[in-house]
Structure 1
């Protein structure tokens, strides 16, 4: 059964303002169930985690439920789910912790396709440890990252490969399973940035082969914070800096300070919201499971429908842009997430962004922190215009964007 987009849109109060939101790659809009979960947690009795008072037990349940929800979304183990202020913070923290074991002669591999949050933490940590950074380029004509290029950068001294599961700039999806297989054969760990992939595809950390998988709930209808997943056995070998009285358990040893319980409650609600998207077109959340169907199976079913719907809208967008004289689209049609990066001849990206925004179409411009990718494409820091499809977008939204671009291109 196809998504009931009218029902889905009714769950997003922000859409009542009338804007067509193509800014999902930078952060999705938030549905009512998520906002309510955040508000209810803030308004209810809650304390630091413990077992004596109801408030303490409630805090513990919020954390446990959030780990379980993320584990269902990513097909990983809840005891390996770490929460952080952001994906960037989680990656910097892990880079510093892993680099304690690196030294001169060790190597770290990064790619120019990645968001800087999966580049700079590793470059900084490697430099501090005296390790060597090896760079892998993508093909600027297609936006594709060749597996052979990653393989060529590997050596017996490679300690870690950092790679994106989907480019936040171009939408390109590297062959992560093949990359992880090659890296593991060389004895290296693999850190996968899944921020841009997670909202648009069914994710299985196990199938990807990732040792670490990071993502951001605010890209898939949740609150602003970061998530990092890894096998508990691997995390047990990593020793981050922490306060003396702080727990030394996994994953708690990686979570600095008191967790934001209201944010975690919102993340659980976001995962439940996604799980319900495919159920008879419902756009509201269902707790944990539905009958004998696990939340994981419901998430998989929902994401298949999301992918099909977004692919349909994306084709409309891409075909429409291709028909407008003076529009250049960057990247490849091969297995992309529904993200279009484009420019309009005679107009700066900022001007296109502003003109579209004045018409109620939110499609921002820039390099979006994928600064190495933007430079490699010859776009520099100014980048280009980015339009991303979300499940709450409609064909009418796409047509509004195309009309605005057409007017500029005349």
Structure 2
């Protein structure tokens, strides 16, 4: 089926400002329906969750609804959806909790491809427990992860891996990797922040899958999905009177109801991108995300080919499966200087390493990184043309 980008663009008020947004990997723009859901919740009567008053019931319905929405998006159990302030915060929380059962001699595997939010919490938790950290490398030329098998042992407790690199877009074969890791008796924690906005997701293969709604048109919060039975075996530090029920035992303090309402609206918005598709919300999400993935892949290929044809441009990242995310360097220009020049013409394509510090250094780009152009459902051909023309002015 086709993808109607112009209809999609009409739903994003921010686009009326005129910028061409290639900054989606750092946070997408917000559709009107999400803003409306947040605002409506803020002015409605709310209370702590319960069933006694209308305000209590409304709060409970928002939470339950958001868990179901995220479960539909990820293909998992709503009883295992945990909300937090951010993916980073949730990863730190779970790293500390899981590390309670680690001991000297245990091992944790992290990758050079990941955002630091799926590296440093595990490195620091391992250090505190006396466990060893092992590094899974990637090939700087192909951008593909190395074989994990040689790193695994009977002391491996957890492997943390990205669903897609936020720097160069590489999408590892997660199901194959998870199968190997599980055969070794270890857990898999997936950072799905950069993957979730761009492709259908079935996160049931992962023991933990974390993502961020503000990367897929929602509010700033974090989500983690795990099997309820696994969560039931984990015991985080918490306040004495706080519930021990799953998943609530992992959510500290009162949840931000307005952000959860916005998260549900964002999921429903994604489900609508497939037009008049019928079926359950999960089915509509899969249809919409498949159409979106095809559209973004075609646009990415066009942008990549046109950038590659410009003298002085070096493209980084050549994995077979990628998100619509390009990282490039311009000869004679620092990445942030390129971003500044593009911004003068209303093209938002930032420069840096974007917290993927290990990956940037491994690519030989150091801490400065490159210029990142990330496509989104609201990116159109005109945006691509503006970016290409802006780059050409720097290379003449």
Normalization by structure 1: what TM-score?
Answer: 0.96
Q: Could you say which residue in structure 2 is the equivalent of 1:286?
A: none
- Provide, for residues 120-145 of structure 1, a one-character-per-residue CA deviation record: whole Å limited to 9, x for no partner: 00000000001000011111112110
1:86 is the counterpart of 2:83: no
Structure 1, 394-403 or 330-339: larger mean CA deviation: 330-339
* 1:170 equivalent among 149, 159, 168: 168
Match of 1:145 in 2: 145
Tell me what 1:192 maps to: 190
Any conservation in 1 of the 2:143–2:319 contact (CA below 8 Å)? no
1:10-25 alignment, distance < 5 Å: 10-25=10-25
8 Å Cα contact 1:169/1:386 also seen in 2: yes
Distance 1:86 1:64 in 2: 19
Q: How does 1:1-400 map to 2 (within 5 A)?
A: 1-146=1-146, 148=147, 150-206=148-204, 209-280=205-276, 293-400=279-386
Segments of structure 1 that go 5 or more residues without pairing to the other structure are: 281-289
Please give the secondary structure, in 2, of the residue aligned with 1:15: helix
Structure 2: distance between partners of 1:177 and 1:12: 34
Secondary structure at 1:387 match in 2: strand
Tell me by how many angstroms 1:6 deviates: 1.3
CA distance in 2, matches of 1:315, 1:115: 24
Gaps of 5+ in 2: none
Quote how far apart the aligned CAs of 1:355 are: 0.4
> Can you list the C-alpha shifts for 1:158-202, whole angstroms capped at 9, x where unaligned?
000000010000000111111111111110000000000000000
| Equivalent residues, number | 396
Q: What is the TM-score of this pair, normalised by structure 2?
A: 0.99
Structure 1 residue 51 displacement after superposition: 1.1
CA contact (8 A) 1:87 1:225 kept: yes
Cα offsets for 1:37-91 (capped at 9, x unmatched): 0000001111111111100000000000000000000000000000000000000
CA drift at 1:333: 4.5
8 Å contact 2:84–2:221 — kept in the other structure? yes
Q: For the aligned residues, what is the CA RMSD?
A: 0.8
Q: In 1, Cα distance between the equivalents of 2:120 and 2:102?
A: 16
Q: Is the 8 A contact 1:142 1:330 kept in 2?
A: no
Distance in structure 2 (CA, Å) of the matches to 1:172 and 1:158? 24
8 Å contact from structure 1 (residues 81, 228) kept in 2: yes
1:235 Cα shift?
Answer: 0.4
Distance 1:404 1:333 in 2: 26
Structure 1 residue ranges (4+ consecutive) displaced by more than 6 angstroms after TM superposition: none
1: CA distance, partners of 2:47 / 2:249:
19
TM-fit CA distance, 1:341? 0.2
Counterpart CA distance in 1 for 2:167 and 2:196 is 15
CA contact (8 A) 2:37 2:265 kept: yes
Q: Distance in 2 between matches of 1:350 and 1:169?
A: 15
Q: Name the stretch that deviates more: 38-47 or 328-337.
A: 328-337
